[in-house]
Structure 1
Amino acid sequence: MNRFGRLNTLRNQIFLGFMLVMIIVLALVGVFVYDQVSALLRNSAEKHIQQTAVQATGKLDALLKQVDTLTAQVSTNATVQRYLAQETAGHPITFGERQSLQQEVRKYEAYATGIRSLELYTTDYRRLFPLDEGSLTSRVGVDWIIAADKGMGKLVWFGQDPRDPDVVVAVRRIRLIDHSFTHGGYLLVKLEKDYFALTDSAGGMGGDSRETMGLFDQAGHEISSDFATAVDSKAVLHREGETVTVGNEDYIAVQRQSAATGWNLVILTPVDYTTEGISVLRTAIIVSGAVGALLFLILSFILTTMIIRPILNLIKAMRGVRLGTLKPIAVTSKTMEINELNNSYNQMVDSLNELIEVVYQKEIIQSRTELKALQAQINPHFLFNTLEAFYWALDDQGEEELAQIVVAMSGLFRYVINRKDEDEWVSVRDELDHAERYLMIMKMRMLDRLSWRIEADEASKSVPIPKLLIQPIVENAILHGVEQRLGPGTVIVRAQASDQPGYTVVSITDDGPGMDEQTVASLYSSMEKGYAESAKKSGVGIANVEQRIRLYYASEQAGLRIHSVVGQGTTISFQIPNDFPAIDGEGEKHENDTDRG
């Protein structure tokens, strides 16, 4: 017994069955719990991130609102309105007026944080203050000025100053209130980027939070951020809900756009931070499953031991009496099923003892009968010597035809009788010679009504074949084919190579009356049952040949194949492999080096 067979015990099967059920149950429960709780944790983390984004956006809007209010106050200041109206009317203000105007605006700067400077320009883009000469077109691009004009007095945010990367620029077009809100000039405000730092004051961003955020203008320039490393805006912008990599860590990106400025606020949350609770949950489930599996393993081992121990005791008792006389065993188990097994075994022992006694008596009677049969058996050599004496007597009298028939009969008997029982394999050549001797004997009985041909190539003649496989089919062809004709008939025996490489086909054809499909189907059914349903049962029979082919060749052959046409005759054929087993040229089988002929 191999190693697998030794392990394939009832105890192991029960144990593995229990473990398999336990593993399936724990796996299903673990997957369900993990899926549900991880979904809750993931939703909670997402809500926290969204809340942080809303709070940070609110803080940004508040900062922008402060600047908007401040610039609105400056643009509507009476002094600013008066001097800009004077400039618009074509009366340039003096240097002293510009100084007083600057002092008036500086008052607003004193009450604001983060503002680096306020600059005032006329409608023709000349700068009124600061007092140095300059123009709005040299300060900002024409497209910025056009955007400010389209704003119709609203504060327009442009983002990072092209000349100073540390400054953010916004422009408001000033409208003259007392002159039907006509165009009066421009107010440019420059703010420090630190003014937009949102981290410290954004709700939910302090404490142990690992979230970071960055603020980018429309062009993707960084205005404010607390990222640990420099971040390319293209790598984080427009990646809402996606995973981005910054440095060596993966983050989930959440993006919000300011309606007032068009700037983008990006919040990055580490992936491991959002899944931290899920990792703890996964660990807890794995540990719980391992502990449960260990406990179930121990309990299953104890339970299987309790179930199998009585059966092992029964097996031990049965092995103890296997080599001697069968004896009943005592019923000692308290389990109903084991007691039933013990009672069944005791009944089986009683029945077997009775059968042994009966078989023993039958063996004695059979041995005596076989001894008498052997004593009465005719010596085959005596039969051959007698046929040889007939042959010489007929030859002396000139009866050559009868002498040849006697020789054929002697060869036929010698082929059937003179071989050892275990020497069941011959060559196709031997079988064809035996069939020819049988045809010669039948020719003497049927005279001119029977003719035959034997066709075989040399390669097919050496193919091994079980003894007495062809002659019964030839006998069937004569009995049910030629003899059923009104005139002469022909039997053709062929042995030739098959269309399938490595195989030989043997066929026996007669030109008898043939059979219809129903008769052929009945014949196949008879071969399946193992006997022929024919009124003329002679020889070994076609059913015997069918069984022998299937017995010798197992699944390599489908058995006999029958082709018959009413009025044209019948062909019975079978196919055999060329190398099963090895037969030498003299027709003797070689399974090993010893000649068994």
Structure 2
Amino acid sequence: MIIVLASVGIFTYDRVSLLLRNSAERHIQQTAVQATGKLEALLRQIDTIAAQVATNDSVQRLLMQELDGRRASFGERQSLQQISRNYQAYATGIRSLELYTTDYRRMFPLDDVSLNSRIPDEWISKADREMGGLVWLGLDPTDPDVVIAIRRVRLIDRSFSHGGYLTVRIERSYFELTDSLTEGDGSREAMVLLDEAGHTIASDFPPAAGVEAHLASGDDEVAIGGDSYKAIRQQSATTGWTLAILTPVDYSTEGIAVLRTAIVLAGSIGCLLFLIFTFILSTMITRPILNLMKAMRGARLGSLKPNESTSSTMEINELNHTYNQMVAYLNELIEVVYQKEIIQSRTELKALQAQINPHFLFNTLEAFYWELEEKGEDELARIVVAMSGLFRYVISRPDEDEWVTIRDELDHAERYLQIMEMRMVDRLSWEINVDAASQGVPIPKLLVQPLVENAILHGIEQRTGPGKVLLSIEASKQPGYTAVWVSDDGPGMDEASVLALREALAEGRSLSSKGTGVGLLNVQSRLKLYYGSFTNGLDIRITEGEGASFGFEIPNEHGGTIQREDDLDRGR
């Protein structure tokens, strides 16, 4: 038995030690591959965001304007800064995005710093040679904690001609890969990322260690801080940067001494019997545990199903029973939350849509009163017909009060304008412009009429003499979207009023009676509830002293199917 155990121990020691070394080498190679993949993913993320900013419609338009000799206004440059902040939210490592014209003037941020004062001319020339590709330059000369990348912006509508430059300033901490790759696996690899010039971008060593000089030698084994490391270098095809994985030399042999001691001890106490009884015992315990683990992994992937297997061990059965109770309880909670969310969403939509009805009916009844008071009963038939159409549209069956077509909304708005014309005599005129392709686009009911009402109450009625309301519905510049605008030639609004109105709409509150009422707030809230992220909500355009325009853009394919029995009879 001693000879057999000794032979088995020596053979096992030799083979397992070889496996440990091979396993350590494979682990190091795998870590290098993972680190390179992680780095490439980080670089692609920055490249994607930079490409999206460079091809943004507003950026392209203002750069073409600058190229034509027309300087961008402060407001236009400020809007670019908002676009920049929106894109920065997609990557936490981006410190700033900077846009420059072809003559190196900065468009945003809003200062007069030039491009050639920020980075050397040879870096700009390198960006020019790449013809629109993102060029990774290295550390910022003015800030050692920032890495700079630059791309040449090409104007799509000008045959991809030169339009300016976009620089991306990224935190150095964005390129620290060790924590995300080696967390929890017990390995001791250190990583160093160097740019093309050999400067350190990210390192697990202190600056005083002189890692750059050691890695510049090109040796496979380097000594840093009195310790020997095996160096594996990977070069990024995107940036030309070098990623070095440094592993302690004794890492591949650290388990051999433990293995030798374990073999000697196991042989001395009769490991054969120990292994037999351990196998029997472990099989009894681990099999039901593995079944339970399998069921739990299924729950992690979204399939909450109970574990039907049983065990002869009381503790395992108790664990299984507790897990099944938890699954049943979670399934009940999921169903309850799902139903509550559906009910809450429907209730909010119904409440917001119903809110407009009394508000509008009061205004309509007031117009009806003034008509009877001022013109007598000769026009009563016309008023009754118009109001009948209004009430029929507003007070409809529950299955018809959510989605209509733009054509239906315009018919409703026109009836309202007819009534208001009777009230205001010759002070009101209107015009409706709509292309044929936009008439059948689905839209929530009572979304246009509040804008018409706002144009009359706060536009036409506030001016002296006749006024005009213009309804314009056409295809948006954004493919698949329709733009709806209601304009008036009233006294307009000043900048302070517009800012206050936009802030109130964003916060979901209404201003005083002359600022905005329930109508605009209702339209803003319903746009967000019906369309969510597919719309930017209510927009405002003003020209001081020349009226105001309120409108929105909605996707053409959003919302339910609209079926009207009178579509064929109306012949539209």
Q: Give the structure-2-normalised TM-score.
A: 0.43
**Structure showing greater Rg:** 1
TM-score, normalised with respect to structure 1: 0.41
